[in-house]
Amino acid sequence: MGGQACVLYGGAEFSRDTDIAVLASDENLGSLRNALRDLSARRIALPPFDSAYLVRGHAVHFRCYHPEALKMRIDVMSLMRGVDPFEMLWERRQRFEAGGQGGYNVLSLPDLVLAKKTQRDKDWPMIRRLIEADYVGNPNPTAQKVSFWLKESRTPGMLVDLCLNFRDQVISLKDVRSVLEFAQAGDFSKVEAALEREEKSEREADREYWEPLRWELEMLRGGGLESEEEV
């Protein structure tokens, strides 16, 4: 669900981290705990590895010490802001095969884009690159694909082109995304300004989402819980 997923979708990003979304059931987390032990992983920050924290939106962070995954960081989440529950994400997952070495279940591209709408500076250029790569790679798009691009593209020129080529779909989405009105008029300066407002709004929503979770982590630190431990 993170940088490695972006690589698979054609968004160039080097990452030594692996971010995964999990179903926070006791059985599933037990299996994950066994896998982390095989990787000689240690939890490197609060909160503890417990479903109670995952289902509230916390991320749990690990560092691997197995020689074949040395210093690889693994971040685990179960709930993300603005993204559907895990069961729905799983239904929409994308499967990438790895040349006879097994495969990877990855968030669908629309879900990955939603998960990337954070307050981190690096995520917004990545959203743009992911959608541009999808646009270039689908010269004969379905109506569903066009709708996704119109709702999520962050490239002014792409939005203007989409509005010219898919007028009927634009009409049905104007009330959903105001930037489309400016893109349809070919007003690049207003498109850019509207995209900036969208980003600012999402960044602020992400800050508000994480504020109580950060406060909870501070309470855990104040309570003397260990910030690092074996799995």
Rounded Cα distance, 134 and 139, in Å: 9
What does residue 43 show for φ and ψ, rounded to 5 degrees? -70, 135
75 class by beta-carbon count within 10 Å (0-12 exposed, 13-18 middle, 19+ buried): middle
Segment 42-93, tens digit of pLDDT: 999 999 999 999 999 999 999 999 999 999 999 999 999 999 999 999 999 9
Segment 1-20, tens digit of pLDDT: 888 899 889 886 666 789 99
Q: What is the pTM for the complete model shown?
A: 0.92
Q: What are the sequence ranges of the domains in the chain?
A: 3-108, 123-209
